[in-house]
């Protein structure tokens, strides 16, 4: 599946199964299947102000997949709080999130490795999630979350990671939370309230 979604203000354009719902101060991205597999590629471009951007549920990347995700978000007074991305064992993914912040933003990214509640451990696979945050055209953050097989045990120490970026006035406060993939949803829910 190859799909793209473009939101400019309240205008939504799309190709493929991706869609979005805009309600008052919320933008909800909808991937009807919630599952990415094989060589799926999703591209999302959003240009808006004073909105909370989220999605309807976890995005699950299946085993033996080679998936590409791209988000490009531009605006001011933004909150980006998509649900955690769940990687099944042997999943491969390239993710790029680029934010162009004009005033203030809170950006929350979450990654869960393996379905621990089902007894699955992420042992094989390759993930590269790149985050770039610009503030009025000045690059403030270039962050890469890279996992190859069990390497995450030596780098973040657990199977889940939540990154929180608070941006404003040419500064960014970064908080990284290492947590099990089993507990990530509960912790993510408390952060995004």
pLDDT given at position 139: 97
3-state helix, strand, coil in the chain (%, to 5): 10, 60, 30
Alpha carbons 27 and 85: distance in angstroms, whole number = 18
pTM score, whole prediction? 0.95
Alpha carbons 85 and 53: distance in angstroms, whole number = 15
pLDDT given at position 66: 97
Alpha carbons 53 and 37: distance in angstroms, whole number = 24
pLDDT given at position 24: 86
pLDDT given at position 141: 97
pLDDT given at position 79: 94
Residues in the chain with pLDDT values less than 70: none
pLDDT given at position 1: 87
Radius of gyration of the chain (CA): 16
Q: Evaluate whether 18 touches 42 at the Cβ level (below 8 Å).
A: yes
């Amino acid at each position: 599946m190859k799909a793209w979604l473009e939101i400019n203000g309240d205008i939504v354009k799309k190709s493929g199964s991706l869609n979005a719902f805009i309600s008052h101060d919320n933008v909800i991205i909808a991937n009807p299947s919630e599952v990415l597999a094989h060589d799926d590629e999703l591209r999302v471009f959003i240009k808006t102000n004073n909105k909370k951007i989220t999605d309807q549920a976890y995005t699950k990347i299946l085993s033996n997949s080679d998936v590409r995700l791209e988000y490009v978000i531009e605006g001011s007074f933004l909150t980006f709080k998509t649900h955690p991305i769940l990687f099944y064992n042997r999943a491969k993914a390239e993710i790029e999130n680029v934010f162009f912040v004009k005033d203030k933003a809170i950006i929350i990214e979450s990654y869960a490795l393996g379905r621990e509640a089902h007894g699955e451990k992420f042992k094989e696979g390759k993930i590269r999630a790149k985050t770039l945050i610009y503030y009025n055209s000045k690059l403030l953050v270039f962050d890469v979350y890279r996992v190859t097989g069990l390497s995450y045990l030596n780098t973040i120490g657990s199977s889940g990671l939540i990154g929180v970026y608070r941006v404003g006035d040419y500064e960014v406060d970064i908080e990284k939370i290492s947590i099990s993939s089993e507990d990530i949803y509960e912790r993510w829910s408390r952060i995004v309230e």
